[in-house]
């Protein structure tokens, strides 16, 4: 069947309009941005997602700091997690509110201050990175519009920041977080300790030697144990870990610790392992939980 010229023109116009509409609904990703750090003595790279209407509006947006895992960098959530595509779709469908998503590079720091003081990443993130980002972009810089999320090492960083700085975050969504109890740390094979944990908690330590003041100051389970229920309730928590993930034990222990203190939180155990299929399939639910926190 032949298509008439007017019909071909009409179809062409519809395709063009569809493409333009899709473009207007797509957020903008800025890569290889840097923020100069006095604390770390270097420029720290970050990637940022701006919602589709950022450039056409004058509004200020809530923000999620999305943390990468070990061996990844600030591009991980974009390259492998396709966070821009998932955020675009969720915002367009009204599943999550328009939000800015910031992905900093943390190398292998575990997002904390290292035992030897050579890499004070936590100090940088709290006192330099967040203020610097929120002065550069139109972000609603108040606790109720700020959240943190991340996977694996980034899930650990998510918990560290929300537990240590509860007055800064409305919600936290750790996925497959690197949560360890003392016995796991003590019995960890030496190669697993040396790289990467020894670099941040203390090198050349064996067995119970690893239970140092640095470890306890940054042990998720120990922090929860020492904090009051009232302090813990300052942040809304979404905890998600696969049933076959090697980190499931620590996440279950965290769930139990919060439950025993009667701290409300969401705990999800889904079918899956420690991989991008799991994190991609869970990030929208995590962002939806965070978005509801912004609506308080």
Tens-digit pLDDT profile for residues 111-154: 999 999 999 999 999 999 999 999 999 999 999 999 999 999 99
Q: Per mean pLDDT, which range of 10-14, 54-58, 290-294 is the poorest?
A: 10-14
- Looking at residue 76, its pLDDT comes to 98
17-69 tens-digit pLDDT: 444 444 457 999 999 999 999 999 999 999 999 999 999 999 999 999 999 99
> What pLDDT does 238 receive?
98
pLDDT at 125: 98
For residue 160, pLDDT beyond 70: yes
- How many CA atoms, within 13 angstroms, populate the side-chain half-sphere of residue 122? 20
Q: What is the mean pLDDT of the chain?
A: 93
Residue 11 pLDDT: 55
194 contacts: CB under 8 Å, gap ≥ 6? 203, 204
Q: Would you tell me which CATH number, out of the four given (3.40.1010.20, 3.40.50.620, 3.40.50.1820, 3.30.930.10), belongs to the domain 27-294?
A: 3.40.50.1820
Q: Inform me whether the pLDDT recorded for 13 exceeds 80.
A: no
Q: Taking the model in full, what pTM does it have? A: 0.92
Say what the pLDDT of residue 295 is: 86
State residue 7's pLDDT score.
57
């Amino acid at each position: 069947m032949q298509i008439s010229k007017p019909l071909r023109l009409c179809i062409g116009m519809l395709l063009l309009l569809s493409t333009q509409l899709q473009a207007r609904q797509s957020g903008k990703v800025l890569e290889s941005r840097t923020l100069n750090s006095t604390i770390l003595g270097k420029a720290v790279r970050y990637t940022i997602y701006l919602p589709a209407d950022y450039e056409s509006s004058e509004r200020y947006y809530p923000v999620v700091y999305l943390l990468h895992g070990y061996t990844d960098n600030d591009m991980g959530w974009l390259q492998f997690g396709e966070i821009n595509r998932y955020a675009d779709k969720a915002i367009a469908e009204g599943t999550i509110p328009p939000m800015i998503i910031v992905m900093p590079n943390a190398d292998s720091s575990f997002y904390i201050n290292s035992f030897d003081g050579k890499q004070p990443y936590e100090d940088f993130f709290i006192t330099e990175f967040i203020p610097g980002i929120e002065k550069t972009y139109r972000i609603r810089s108040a606790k109720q519009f700020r959240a943190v999320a991340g996977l694996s090492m980034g899930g650990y960083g998510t918990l560290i920041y929300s537990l240590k700085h509860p007055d800064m975050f409305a919600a936290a969504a750790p996925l497959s977080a690197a949560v360890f109890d003392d016995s796991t740390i003590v019995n960890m094979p030496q190669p697993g300790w040396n790289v990467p944990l020894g670099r941040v908690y203390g090198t050349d330590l064996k067995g119970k030697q690893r239970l140092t003041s640095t470890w306890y100051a940054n042990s998720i389970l120990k922090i929860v144990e020492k904090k009051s229920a009232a302090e813990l309730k300052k942040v809304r928590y979404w905890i998600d870990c696969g049933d076959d993930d090697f980190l499931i034990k620590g996440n279950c222990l965290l769930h139990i610790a919060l439950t025993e203190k009667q701290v409300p939180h969401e705990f999800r155990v889904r079918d899956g392992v420690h991989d991008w299929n799991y994190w991609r399939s869970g990030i929208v639910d995590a962002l939806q939980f965070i978005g509801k926190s912004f609506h308080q």
